[in-house]
Amino acid sequence: MRPALQTRLRRAAAPLLFLLLCVLGAIAAQITPEFILRELLARFARNALLVLSLLIPILAGLGLNFGIVIGAMAGQVAAILVTTWGVGGIAGFALACAVAVPVAVALGILTGLLFNRARGREMVTGLIAGFFANGVYQLVFLFALGSLIPFHVHELLLPQGYGLRNTIDLTGIQYAVDDLVRVQVPLEGQLVRVPVATFLVIGVFCGLSLLFQRTKLGQELRAMGQDAHVAATAGIDVDRNRVIAVVISTLLAALGQLLFLQNLGTLNTYSSHEQVGMFAIAALLVSGATVSRASVGQALLGTLLFHTLFVVSPLAGKALLGDAQIGEYFRVFVAYAVITVALALHAWQQAHHERAAQRG
């Protein structure tokens, strides 16, 4: 049955509002569509997989997985390792993925077990777990590496002799996937890279996500997302499946971060991962997705819209108020506000349902 017109309109309200904001900003800053297209090509390819990594925990009823930051760290560990080994190109990227998988799976299992102990507050636990993991990451790479853990690539170390440098050049794996199929298109007199292979990878993961939802496991997760108690009564091992959902999410986030880094070409060792969760989640939510309901299409649409605003906002701030900084503060505010509204709406509806259930 198709949802009623009213429901569909309500779902479209968020992306439409956002689109309006982008268009107004673009008009104010007199930005050409070509400019936006050029910026979006790279940004979309960089971020789409990170946004996709959020879908499966939502399906399983875990809400927004703020713990994908931990997956991003796993990806960075792999990127650092292949750089020290000096393996470049697509082989280096493949090796990085191979290294990232076991790290992400192990961290995903830990995160999943943690979430099982914090039922009903997975989101805040995921957020704090990300902060905690960041501290451990710093302990390892800023203090232990080169002092407790032997490390001999001195170009990557800080002058004090231990700890990784704040920025690491990933020239070895830069554009490894983006340029696998080299396509460049002239836009506004400049040659612009079209990352065909990256889009293909994203397409494959979209397809896999859709296929996954039809498998037995996917159906079990959906049942858990609708009602965990009923699912448990029906013989589904809820605890185990929740861990699996978090592992898949963490793994996708690790690969997503690797795709992100191969495009960027530099790693900010201690900050590249910090805002991954916030931006991916805000991007998903602007498409009209909610804490309990999100689709592959919404993930892609949200990535496009959110990053359009990211491009437009500082320029619009400069054009309208003479200060790009205001635009930058504004886009951060939009990211936080979008998440706040989505969380509040979700909790509001949940409380409403519970009250209705108590009465009935």
Q: Give the whole-angstrom CA distance, residue 242 versus residue 220.
A: 10
| Residue from 2, 5, 33, 120 binding another protein (CB under 8 A) | 120
Q: For the chain, where are the E strands, in sequence order? A: 167-169, 184-187, 190-193, 266-268
CB of 279 to another protein, least distance (A): 13
Task: Name the residue among 36, 103, 58 with its Cα closest to residue 255.
Answer: 103
Report the residue number, 201 or 339, with the smaller CB distance to another protein.
339
Q: Give the whole-angstrom CA distance, residue 76 versus residue 73.
A: 5
Q: Give the whole-angstrom CA distance, residue 8 versus residue 47.
A: 27
Q: Please tell me whether residue 118 binds another protein under the rule CB under 8 A.
A: yes
- The answer to whether the beta carbons of residues 57 and 65 sit under 8 Å apart is yes
Q: Please tell me whether residue 214 binds another protein under the rule CB under 8 A.
A: no
Q: Which stretch binds another protein (CB under 8 A): 40-48, 132-140, 175-183, 242-250?
A: 132-140
- The answer to whether the beta carbons of residues 242 and 15 sit under 8 Å apart is no
Q: Give the whole-angstrom CA distance, residue 55 versus residue 231.
A: 19
DSSP output for 138-204: HIIIIIIBTTTB----GGGB-TTSSSB-SEEE-TTTTTTTTTTS--EEEETTEEEE--HHHHHHHHH
| Residue from 16, 34, 131, 188 binding another protein (CB under 8 A) | 131
CB of 354 to another protein, least distance (A): 8
Q: Please tell me whether residue 351 binds another protein under the rule CB under 8 A.
A: yes
Q: Please tell me whether residue 128 binds another protein under the rule CB under 8 A.
A: yes
Q: Please tell me whether residue 14 binds another protein under the rule CB under 8 A.
A: no
CB of 61 to another protein, least distance (A): 14
Task: Name the residue among 105, 42, 69, 73 with its Cα closest to residue 280.
Answer: 69
Report the residue number, 167 or 340, with the smaller CB distance to another protein.
340
Q: Please tell me whether residue 324 binds another protein under the rule CB under 8 A.
A: no
Q: Give the whole-angstrom CA distance, residue 76 versus residue 261.
A: 8
- The answer to whether the beta carbons of residues 114 and 130 sit under 8 Å apart is no
CB of 76 to another protein, least distance (A): 16
| Residue from 84, 89, 109, 138 binding another protein (CB under 8 A) | 138
| Residue from 20, 27, 139, 200 binding another protein (CB under 8 A) | 139
Report the residue number, 112 or 172, with the smaller CB distance to another protein.
112
Q: Please tell me whether residue 6 binds another protein under the rule CB under 8 A.
A: no
Chain residues that interact with another protein, rule: CB under 8 A? 114, 117-118, 120-121, 123-125, 127-129, 131-132, 134-136, 138-139, 142-143, 160, 162-163, 321, 323, 325-326, 329-330, 332-333, 336-337, 339-340, 343-344, 346-348, 350-351, 354
